[in-house]
Amino acid sequence: MVQVSTSTRKSSSFAGPKSQPNSHIMIESDRELSTIAQELWDSDTNRLKPGKDYRISLQGKAGDSMTGLYEDDNDGAGYPLFTFVDENTFKKETFSAFISLLDNYESDTGEPEIVTPEEVAENHKFLDAIIQTSTMKIAHKYLVEKRLSPMDDTKFKEQLYRIWFELYARRGSSRPDSSGFEHVFVGETRGRRTVIGFHNWIQLYLQEKLGHIDYKGYTVSANSPQPDENKHILALQFSWKNGIKPKGSIFVGVSPEFEMALYTVCFLSSPNERVKVQFNLYDVEIVCHHYNQKHIGTTYPVLLKYQKPH
């Protein structure tokens, strides 16, 4: 039985620097990161298979809503995004430890976080679980070779805790009200009207199941490919409680350890806030904004292109 909490907490958005003029040219560091991204992808044995372990219904294209408010004519989807998810997956150790963290946050930015000893223990339990996976071991080995992370597992876990779970004050707040994990995986709200962060499919599915999410349709730009229900990256629009996420981008069906590993590698190894990587059939830009160089402000995938299978 998956325990789903009905409480949720904050969000935020970072206006990051624009891509450089020649950013479509893959630089050497991006090639190296593509190699490690492919290794992480190949090692993700807990990834769900589209059409078998989960099914989504893309329906229509969402209307433009950059105002933070919206009208019914922006809604391109009359039904939920997720039509089926095999919840047996959520019994796996990394998934269950991840899900236990989703009710630990106050969603509105500006509301300070109170972290209980139980929540700290849950954070550690999650990190202990993902560090044991082959996916995170690959990331750790790479970061040690680059002298970006300590070799010792305990010290590496401390580094992960600092990057993801240490609290900081998000824009417009004077008190610690946010963390990288909360922003990226749980989602936050600003002024209770705008959803910021919220780039995780498991949280999206569980919140939609509770009736807190209204999926509004997929989003595409002139440069992005048409979405596909069998691909693992999706840009979409949705409302959450009383707020709107005009455009969000998520991996779908991947494991928590894959996202933690990929985002941590990009955060620690690239000074650029946008990194282009190629793996499997995807050309992806990983957006990763640093906060005070010590914490993740936000991070998410942007699909640039599907490669045709050979």
| Domain layout of the chain by residue ranges | 36-64+71-306
Asked if 92 is an active-site residue, the reply is no
Whether residue 165 is predicted with pLDDT greater than 80 in this model: the reply is yes
Structure tokens at 209: 């199941």
Span 131-149, average pLDDT: 97
| pLDDT higher than threshold 70 for residue 13 | no
Active site residue 245: yes
Lowest mean pLDDT, pick from 152-161, 186-195, 202-211, 298-307: 186-195
The pLDDT mean for the chain works out to 83
CA angle, 32 then 128 then 187, to 5°: 75
Single out the residue of 6, 10, 1, 3 nearest to residue 167, CA to CA: 10
Query: What is the distance between the alpha carbons of residues 172 and 247, in angstroms, rounded to a whole number?
Result: 22
What's the number of CA atoms in the CB half-sphere (13 Å) around residue 265?
Answer: 33
Average pLDDT value for residue range 166-193 = 80
pLDDT at 67: 47
79-130 pLDDT, tens digit per residue, is: 899 999 999 999 999 999 999 999 866 665 556 666 788 888 999 999 999 9
Q: Contact 94/46 with Cβ under 8 angstroms?
A: yes
> Which one is catalytic: 10, 140, 199, 216?
199
Average pLDDT over residues 181-187: 92
- Tell me which of 10, 183, 216, 295 is the catalytic residue: 183
- Mean pLDDT over residues 174-187, rounded? 84
Of 10, 140, 216, 245, which is the active-site residue?
245
Name, of 62-66, 150-154, 218-222, the range with top average pLDDT: 150-154
Max CA distance (Å), the chain: 54
Mean pLDDT value of segment 205-211: 94
